Amino acid sequence: MRLILLGAPGSGKGTQADLLKTKYGVAHISTGDILRKNLEAKTELGLRAKTFMDKGELVPDALIIDMVEERLRVDDVAKGFLMDGFPRTIPQAEALDSMLSAMGLNLDAVLLIKVADELVVRRLTNRRTCRACGKISSLLDVPNGTTNCLECGGELYQRDDDKESVIRHRLEVYREQTEPLAAWYEDKGLLRAVEVQEHYMPEDTFRETEAALGL
Ligand code: AMP
């Protein structure tokens, strides 16, 4: 399985990627997670990426492409992979095409997760991440007053870029720079889509994801 998950910030790409990874045992490649780890470790890449991330802007293509090229050299890629948050621009998609053809690999599908903007804003302002295990939780789905991860007990925190003004900007950036990838992959016959409804839990989207991918 070699897949790309495409969708606005807050569409649930990361959650679907976790579910697919658990069930199908493929590598989960999240450029956002790699960048956040670099930020935490204060690497040069992390420091260069920080100014863009804090504003909800995209990190320059060259930095991201080098980072993904390095990630694709890790052995686990042989068992299949899910790209989550990459590519986000046409030049990134073109670079990925060249990297994969140099490796003799091709993509099986690109899954577009569609969600209404207002739902994204509501979900992201309520999104919390566990500092210890990275699990994503929603304040909408956990008991009132929950401050720790229900899975491992780690501290839940709100990402700096999940504040409402930054979220609105990230949505604009998505529309302008990332959404055109849907038509680009549609032309290649790779695009599949699911539409997230207001009342959906992650398992509901997952059922549709599997159906859309023919799993
Ligand atoms: P994410 O966790 O995927 O929402 O990514 C968080 C932030 O990391 C984004 O708002 C961007 O600033 C940066 N980022 C992640 N992936 C990419 C990418 N493929 N291209 C450019 N910037 C990215």
From the alpha carbon of 87, which atom of ligand 1 is closest?
19
**CATH of segment(s) 2-115+167-213:** 3.40.50.300
Residue with tokens 């009342």: 199
State yes or no: cis peptide before 87, omega within 30 of 0. Answer: yes
Arithmetic mean of pLDDT, 156-161: 91
Residue with tokens 């998609």: 93
Instruction: Write down the domain spans for the chain.
Output: 2-115+167-213
**Confidence at residue 141, expressed as pLDDT on a 0 to 100 scale:** 87
Arithmetic mean of pLDDT, 191-212: 95
**Confidence at residue 90, expressed as pLDDT on a 0 to 100 scale:** 98
Does the global pTM surpass 0.75? yes
Arithmetic mean of pLDDT, 120-143: 91
**Confidence at residue 2, expressed as pLDDT on a 0 to 100 scale:** 97
Which residues line the pocket of ligand 1, CB cutoff 6 A?
9, 31-32, 35, 52-53, 56-59, 64, 85-86, 88, 92, 161, 170
Active site residues: 13, 88, 127, 159, 170
Q: Determine the distance separating the centroid of ligand 1 and the alpha carbon of 81, expressed in angstroms.
A: 18
